[in-house]
Amino acid sequence: MIPSPFAFYAPSRLDEAVRLLQQYGDEAKLLAGGHSLLPTMKLRLATPAVLIDLHKISDLVGVTVGERVTIGSMTTWSALEADATLCEALPVLAATIRLIGDRQVRNRGTLGGALAHADPAADAPAVVLVLNGTLTIYGPAGIRTIAADDFFVDMLTTALAPDEILTAITLDRVGPGEGAAYLKFAHPASRYALVGVAAFLRVEAGQVSACRVAVTGAGVRAERLTNVEAMLLHQPAQPDLFARAARGAADTLEILGDLHASETYRRAMVEVYIHRALVAAAASLRAS
């Protein structure tokens, strides 16, 4: 299978890429790792007239671990996996990366590409949500930032304007007294999340003093589960709390059914995975 014809640009500067986006508008697509876009183009489900490859923009690659962690949008999963400082600061990210695609997909695929594509079954969005992600975006008006909470709008749809580029992702570190986990029920063939849940907990004096929980794979987009978070906050961090918080948590959630898993089944699995992710996050609490 071969994509339909397109013009190819590989600018080395960000402003050049934005200028191309402005020039070609809806006809253009940005190319990151390409492991969602190129298969879609081969199936002719996408037929962009112009591809703008971001690989030559070196500013978009790299990791800075400071008070928070900042990751360039074009940094590949493999580069992140190989970064020992990053994996120490964010073990939950390192563990999640092992679950994404396969080795060759991770050699090409990027964090920024996954977020901007906003596949409803992608793993990264849930983790970025619970790590309080801040996304840096470059466009014709310059740089702006947006909270991950406001970024995922709908299926394959984000808050990015057509002429904007996601440049960096900033995440909270998992510090002392904190733990985080991401667990997914992977489709046995595609490895996409039939359901995935990420959880972040801070426990002080035995009580949950901060928490974030997010689900992916279940509905049209990854989203925070504020009802679960409200159940957890200021409660004793004990196993029965996690079971209670998960029970009925998916009742009000908009869930999609498809040929792989019915809506009812997914709803049940969301609750199972909320429970498991909370238990795993609590088990990973770092010594304070």
Q: Which of 11, 34, 91, 177 binds another protein (CB under 8 A)?
A: 34
Query: Using CB under 8 A, which of 24, 32, 35, 275 touches another protein?
Result: 35
CB 42 to another protein: min, Å: 6
CA distance 181 to 108: 24
Q: Which range binds another protein by CB under 8 A, 37-45, 160-168, 211-219, 256-264?
A: 37-45
**156: CB partners within 8 A, 6+ apart:** 117, 118, 119, 120
Work out whether 101 is an interface residue with another protein (CB under 8 A): yes
Contact indicator for 148, 133 with CB cutoff of 8 Å: yes
Burial track 261-271 (b if 16+ CB lie within 10 A, e otherwise): beeeebbebbb
Stretch that binds another protein, among 19-27, 36-44, 114-122, 220-228 (CB under 8 A): 36-44
What does the per-residue mask of binding to another protein show for 171-200, with x meaning CB under 8 A? Answer: ------------------xxx---------
Considering beta carbons, is residue 187 or 276 the nearer one to another protein?
A: 187
84 belongs to the binding site for another protein (CB under 8 A): no
- Least gap, CB of 53 to another protein (angstroms): 7
d(CA 232, CA 211): 7
Strands 165-172 and 134-139: what pairing?
Answer: antiparallel
219 closest CA partner among 263, 187, 278 = 263
- Residue 170 Cα distances to 69, 71, 109, 133, 229, angstroms: 5, 6, 18, 6, 22
Query: Which residues of the shown chain bind another protein in the complex (CB under 8 A)?
Result: 1-8, 10, 34-35, 38-39, 42-43, 51, 53, 55, 78, 98, 101-105, 107-108, 189-191
